[in-house]
Amino acid sequence: MSAITVGHPVALRRPIYGWALHDGFVVARRNLIQTLRVPELLFFSLVQPVIFVLLFAYVFGGAIPIPGDGASAADAANAYRQYLMPGIFGQTVAFAAAASTVGLAEDMSRGIIDRFRALPMSPSAVLLGRTFADAVRQILVLTVLSITGLLVGWRINSGLFSAVLAYAFLLFFAYTVAWVGAWIGLSVPNPETANTAGLVWLFPFTFLSNAFVPISSMPDWLQPIAAYNPISTLVLATRELFGNPTGIQPHYWSLDHAALYTLISCAVLIGIFAPLAVRKYRNATAR
Amino acid sequence: MSGQPAVRAEGISRTFGEVKALDGMDLVVQRGQVVGLLGPNGAGKTTMVRILSTLLKPTSGHAEVAGFDVVKQANQVRRMIGLTGQYAAVDEYLTGRENLRMFGDLFHLTPGYVKARSEELLTSFGLDDAADRPVRTYSGGMRRRLDLAASLIARPEILFLDEPTSGLDPRSRLGMWQVINDLVADGTTVLLTTQYLEEADQLAQDIVVIDHGHVIAHGTAEQLKDRIGGDRIEVTLHDAAAAERAARALGSVISGHPLIEDNKVSAPVSGGSMVLVGAIRALDLEQIEIIDIMLRRPTLDDVFMSLTGHLAEDETQRPEPTRRRGARRR
């Protein structure tokens, strides 16, 4: 039985760009293969944002006026769809966090996490791989959403470079919230709790923003909260990059420097939640 | 380095809140040896394996695997070991081949090596036909074999097997035993835990019996059996009254206290098969009708009974900390 011979020297690779990234990619590849093996899950994760587009475009759309645009009712409805799509993009990529929460909680409840932890791999690789794969999945989601948007009348009114930049912003934001989701996934006791805990904070987080209604339409005390919500600045920056209507903004530093504020927020969030999540992961099975 | 034992643990304790899972556990496994860690549920077997494989830190005590400290040099330890737990630790959605590739990559082996080694292992473990099917479609025995293959991808010197056959049907169990024996024949050091006395007897040269988190006996299966005396005679009679009478009648033949259970009498004897003749004569003299009579070597069950006062498999579950939240049994 020479085939299963053990204790012999094996061919080892040399690190090229650090093992954390290499191991992260290996785990990300595994997570993406998983996605392809459960096409039903992928399908339904695409259906939800599409339903949101149709609901807001046709049900709520006429009732939410965008200040500064549209003279007739038809113009107003069209203006709202232009306004809406970046909001839906922003909300959808934020919900990528829930996938990270559930995915990690499921991993942690299974035997495979023991094997990962008993391997001489980078301790952050499982988290890097999870967040990276969840962000990559958003490329597909954004593609489907963009096509749906084009079908209901949304248009990109800027150059190619600006549009690519807008999508890059959205994906970076997806990667950022995936870390928050990862931390939640490691903090909950089981996958069932993760299903709820992963979603519950996302509703106030995404709705207390300019994603669907202008900030100027909110009560005064709520406006600063919405203005400093990174979703608002992400959506505003995206609207500007796509050349879509932004409505009239109240004056807040975050809204005046939407792109910069979004990047700072992402850096701060990753700076907080990535180390927290890695620490939780290291201690997770030691309880 | 070659002179050191593969595993050396001294005074390992581990508490989970109020529960003391390990309480001053000592263990030495020499290179090339197969040691069986035998004990009932909750004895601390799994906790010990998790500490030695760097998954869990001891509350106190010191352990070295392949000469490396399991706490301070965890990554060096991980290079030397393979671990197969009670639950198949492979990805359900990936195929068998994809799983092996992933673990090989995470071991930082070269892609060419991983490919060749995966083929070898898939063939040796009879998984060739299933190699490109998602693991979800595998049977329990196939999962365990893939799990063991994954542990062997980097040719570890030391293999930890935590209840490698629990939950398997008898045929799959025999298959696993065959694979483990092959590994052992190749010189792998193996530390395996089991609650099946038969399994420890079959696989391990050296058996460490643990209960309540520490070692209560240690030796080869034969040594352990000798510790509770040699052979035992077992006589089955019509009823309990006859058993009482038989116990008295056997007084001159047996060499220790008779044990009466319902209509059965058993007792240690010395003197080989000739005692059977003596016993039958003694019983016949008292006109006691015998249903069945036999001489048997003590089993590890007897050893366990005499060491702990309870049967290994009778043990009611102690509040052993579950290995992780939401653990699923398959």
Q: For B319-330, what is each residue's pLDDT tens digit?
A: 444 444 433 333
Compare CB distances from B157 to A6, A12, A286 and report the shortest one's residue.
A6
Which one of A114, A121, A122, A130 makes the best mutation probe of the B interface by having the most chain B beta carbons within 10 Å? A114
**At how many degrees (to 10) do helices A96-108 and A125-151 cross?**
150
Evaluate whether A13 touches A120 at the Cβ level (below 8 Å): no
What distance in Å separates the CA atoms of residue A254 and residue A195, rounded to the nearest whole number? 32
Q: Which long-range contacts (CB under 8 A, 24 or more apart) does A267-275 make?
A: A269/A176, A269/A177, A269/A179, A269/A180, A269/A230, A270/A175, A270/A176, A270/A179, A273/A179, A273/A180, A273/A182, A273/A183, A274/A124, A274/A127, A274/A179
SS3 per residue for A7-44: CCCCCECCCCCCHHHHHHHHHHHHHHHHHHHCHHHHHH
Highest mean pLDDT among A171-175, A249-253, B2-6, B243-247: A171-175
Domain map (residue ranges) of chain A: 17-282
Residues B47-105 pLDDT 10s: 999 999 998 999 999 999 999 999 999 988 999 999 998 778 899 999 999 999 999 99
Q: Name chain A contacts of B102, Cβ cutoff 8 Å.
A: 26-27, 29-30
What distance in Å separates the CA atoms of residue A270 and residue A90, rounded to the nearest whole number? 18
pLDDT confidence of residue A14:
62
Nearest Cα residue in chain A from B157: A7
- ipTM rounded to 2 decimals: 0.84
How far from chain centre, in Å, is Cα B120?
27
Which one of B56, B75, B105, B133 makes the best mutation probe of the A interface by having the most chain A beta carbons within 10 Å? B105
| Phi and psi angles of residue A51, each rounded to the nearest 5 degrees, phi first | -60, -40
Q: Name chain B contacts of A125, Cβ cutoff 8 Å.
A: 106
pLDDT confidence of residue A110:
85
% of chain B residues with pLDDT over 90? 38
Instruction: Specify the higher pLDDT residue, A164 or B302.
Output: A164
Q: What is the pTM of this model?
A: 0.81
The per-residue DSSP string of B67-84 comes to TEETTTTHHHHHHHEEEE
Q: Name chain B contacts of A120, Cβ cutoff 8 Å.
A: 75, 78-79, 107-108
Question: Edge-to-edge strands of the sheet including B34-38?
Answer: B81-84, B158-162, B189-194, B34-38, B206-211, B214-219
Note whether B120 contacts A4, CB cutoff 8 Å.
Answer: yes
pLDDT confidence of residue A11:
65
Low-confidence ranges of chain A (pLDDT < 70): 1-17, 62-63, 67-74, 285-287
Q: Is the pLDDT confidence value at B149 over 80? A: yes
What are the structural domains of chain B? 7-225 (3.40.50.300), 229-297 (3.30.70.980)
Highest mean pLDDT among A8-17, B132-141, B220-229, B262-271: B132-141
- B113 and chain A in contact, CB less than 8 A: yes
Neighbour tally for A122: CB within 10 Å: 24
Compare CB distances from B87 to A30, A111, A117 and report the shortest one's residue.
A111
Give the CA-trace dihedral at B123, B128, B131, B135, to 10 degrees: -90
Note whether B106 contacts A119, CB cutoff 8 Å.
Answer: yes
pLDDT confidence of residue B311:
58
Which one of B114, B325, B330 makes the best mutation probe of the A interface by having the most chain A beta carbons within 10 Å? B325
What distance in Å separates the CA atoms of residue B45 and residue B56, rounded to the nearest whole number? 13
Give the CA-trace dihedral at B280, B282, B287, B292, to 10 degrees: -30
Q: Name chain B contacts of A19, Cβ cutoff 8 Å.
A: 108
Q: How confident is the model at residue B317 (pLDDT cuts 50, 70, 90)?
A: very low
Evaluate whether A79 touches A66 at the Cβ level (below 8 Å): yes
Compare CB distances from B110 to A13, A108, A117 and report the shortest one's residue.
A13
B283 membership: H or E segment, kind and range: helix B274-285
Q: Which of residues 68-97 of B touch A (CB under 8 A)?
A: 75, 78-79, 81-83, 85-94
Which one of A112, A116, A195, A280 makes the best mutation probe of the B interface by having the most chain B beta carbons within 10 Å? A112
* Strands B34-38, B206-211: pairing kind: parallel
Note whether A115 contacts B187, CB cutoff 8 Å.
Answer: no
Half-sphere exposure in the Cβ direction for B296 (13 Å, CA): 11
Note whether B83 contacts A114, CB cutoff 8 Å.
Answer: yes
pLDDT confidence of residue A287:
39
Residues B188-221 pLDDT 10s: 899 999 888 788 888 888 999 998 888 988 888 8
The label of the residue with tokens 């799509």 reads A85
Q: Which of residues 119-148 of B touch A (CB under 8 A)?
A: 120-121, 123-125, 134
What distance in Å separates the CA atoms of residue A190 and residue A115, rounded to the nearest whole number? 19
Q: Is the pLDDT confidence value at B246 over 70? A: yes
Identity of residue B30: Q
